[in-house]
Amino acid sequence: MATLSPSNFTVNPPRIATIFRSDNKLGDVERTHLKLLTSLKSNPAFILKASKDPLHLTQEVPNSKVANAGGVEKGDNLFDELKHRFLSFKKQKYLENLEHFETLAKGQAPKFLVIACADSRVCPSTTLGFQPGEAFIVRNVANLVPRFENPSETSAALEFAVNTLQVENILVIGHSCCGGIRALMSMDGEVDSSSFIKRWVIVGKNAKLSTEANASNLSFDQQCKHCEKESINRSLLNLLSYPWIEEKVMRGTMSIHGGYYDFVDCTFEKWTLDYNRSSKESGKYSVKDRVFWC
């Protein structure tokens, strides 16, 4: 296995610290030397270079972001933790299941396409225990599915997972305290074209309108929670706007499901769209097989 060292990286040249010595100000130089030794330990990219020239101290730091050794050290500690986690995964998962991972190296055949929110608190692999190869996972702000006529990277993932990987289940998972849904519910009037977030969450406009019509008597926080679930069902309807998805659902070779993870009390609700009693044209939907895990 190759070992990386600072000299392998040539994009940003190393910082050069030049130390000059004179008996007149030896104490100052020695103190500076100690400070630089501390920097060396926390940032090995520094290079010390001796000189016989008269006393002065120069240090080139072309990138101000690396001038704060404390910040660099903190970042290094974060990646040290990631390194530890990766090596633990390799030892406890990869090497213990080597045959399985060698099979995955040749191809994937997941049973699920999961569309979940990008929120850091709701990773589907953690909450639902998906293992490598089990689920093709797409994450975006507010776990939204745009209609067929409004293509996005989510649409590309749908095409690949459905037509190439031949997944049998699509699961759209929403969650409590969703910032994307809150941004959607806070919108009033025209969409701000300068905001990427608002231009994206407007995909859930029908969920917002439905919430305002049916839950206007609730507090704003309660309306947001209502919309979190309503937007899931609207996304399930939007999935039917993709011809190759609707065809498979109609034939019974694919099912589309909704899920809601409440991380406040750690519960999960799951349901399945009833295709025969739903209509993407009218916006009417019906669900079945609702279960509650707690």
Tell me which residue of 218, 230, 146 sits closest to 181, measured CA to CA.
Answer: 230
- The model's pLDDT over 215-228, given as tens digits with 9 standing for 90+, comes to 999 999 999 999 99
Q: In DSSP terms, which residues pair with 112 in a beta bridge?
A: 135, 169
The whole-chain average pLDDT of the chain stands at: 83
The percent of residues in the chain predicted with pLDDT above 70, rounded, is 75
- Residue 101's pLDDT is what? 98
Q: What torsion do the CA atoms of 228, 292, 121, 112 make, to the nearest 10 degrees?
A: -90
- Residue 17's pLDDT is what? 39
82/190: higher pLDDT: 82
Is residue 131 over pLDDT 50? yes
- The model's pLDDT over 252-263, given as tens digits with 9 standing for 90+, comes to 999 999 999 999
Residue 180 and residue 228 in contact, taking contact as beta carbons nearer than 8 Å: no
Is residue 49 over pLDDT 50? no
Per mean pLDDT, which range of 11-15, 99-103, 188-192, 237-241 is the poorest?
11-15
**Model pTM score:** 0.75
- Residue 22's pLDDT is what? 40
Give residue 74's pLDDT band: very low, low, confident or very high (50, 70, 90): confident
- Residue 223's pLDDT is what? 98
What gap in Å lies between CA 230 and CA 214, rounded to an integer?
11
- Residue 192's pLDDT is what? 78
Strand arrangement, sheet containing 255-262:
135-140, 112-117, 169-175, 255-262, 267-273, 287-293
